[in-house]
């Protein structure tokens, strides 16, 4: 039995997290199917012994495909026997003073609004890529440069990757512990 990792991303930061999680699971002999909810078909969740799902944040919102995925699979997620965990990649989560509020707003509140229960949730930093070869369009980049002023060590011409891999690894390891206990 496998676990499933479902992610919604606009610029690739959440995809990078999902892929790294899948590698760590594999190193612990846990196979996973990893799906981009925008591009891939959505498998039957009851076939899996655990679920990790996550979304990038833009203007306070998950991707629309992740919202649809959760809406459509609400019953299946709540009925899933194994562990289920949620995360966001959010630029503001990297601001220490905002982290707790951001985590509750982008995870707990939205999951609650959808009526979905999870074992745990977490807000990781994101990638605020304002470099010249960024995949982010010029207008969005402009918004990011303004938003970035509050972010510690923000480089107004840089990639600004604030994903905390130690924290992401710990989150994944806790999920692995839950899988092994089940
Ligand atoms: C136009 C724009 C708006 C954003 N708005 C927010 C926001 O409201 N809150 C936040 O925490 N991060 C915000 N971010 C930062 C993103 O959350 C960050 O870039 C994240 O890594 C995106 O994940 P993704 O690449 O998987 O889509 C914004 C980024 C862009 C480009």
Each residue's pLDDT tens digit, 37-93: 999 999 999 999 999 999 999 999 999 999 999 999 999 999 999 999 999 999 999
| Residue 152 pLDDT | 84
| Residue 73 pLDDT | 98
Distance of alpha carbon 56 from alpha carbon 143, whole angstroms: 16
Domains of the chain (ranges; CATH) run 3-127+162-181 (3.40.50.360), 129-159 (no CATH)
- As a whole-number percent, the residues of the chain with pLDDT over 90 amount to 92
Please, which pLDDT band fits residue 98 given cuts at 50, 70 and 90? very high
In this structure, the residue with its CA closest to atom 7 of ligand 1 is: 59
Distance of alpha carbon 180 from alpha carbon 174, whole angstroms: 10
What global pTM score does this model have?
Answer: 0.97
Measured in degrees and rounded to the nearest 5, phi and psi for residue 34 equal -120, 125
Distance of alpha carbon 122 from alpha carbon 100, whole angstroms: 10
Q: Is the pLDDT of residue 127 over 90?
A: yes
Q: Give the residue, out of 21, 38, 58, 106, with the most ligand 1 atoms within 8 A of its beta carbon, to mutate for a pocket test.
A: 58
Q: Which tokens sit at 133?
A: 């070869």
Protein residues whose CB sits closer than 6 Å to any atom of ligand 1: 9-14, 56-60, 89-93, 102, 126-128, 136, 140, 143-144
What is the rounded average pLDDT of the residues 126-140? 93
Length of the chain in terms of residues written:
182
In this structure, the residue with its CA closest to atom 3 of ligand 1 is: 58
| Residue 69 pLDDT | 98
């Amino acid at each position: 039995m496998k676990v499933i990792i479902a992610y919604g991303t606009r610029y690739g930061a959440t995809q990078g997290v999902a892929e790294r999680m899948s590698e760590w699971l594999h190193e612990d002999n846990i196979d996973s199917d990893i799906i981009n909810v925008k591009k891939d078909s959505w498998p039957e969740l009851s076939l899996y012994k655990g679920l990790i799902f996550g979304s990038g944040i833009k203007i306070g919102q998950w991707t629309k495909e992740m919202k649809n995925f959760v809406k459509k699979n609400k019953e299946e997620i709540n009925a899933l026997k194994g562990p289920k965990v949620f995360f966001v990649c959010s630029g503001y989560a990297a601001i220490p003073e905002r982290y707790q509020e951001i985590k509750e707003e982008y995870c707990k509140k939205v999951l609650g609004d959808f009526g979905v229960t999870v074992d745990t949730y977490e807000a990781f930093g994101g990638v605020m890529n304002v470099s010249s070869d960024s995949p982010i369009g010029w207008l969005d980049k402009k918004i990011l440069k303004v938003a970035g002023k509050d972010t510690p060590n923000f480089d107004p011409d840089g990639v600004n990757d604030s994903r905390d891999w130690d924290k992401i690894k710990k989150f994944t390891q806790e999920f692995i512990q839950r899988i092994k206990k089940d």
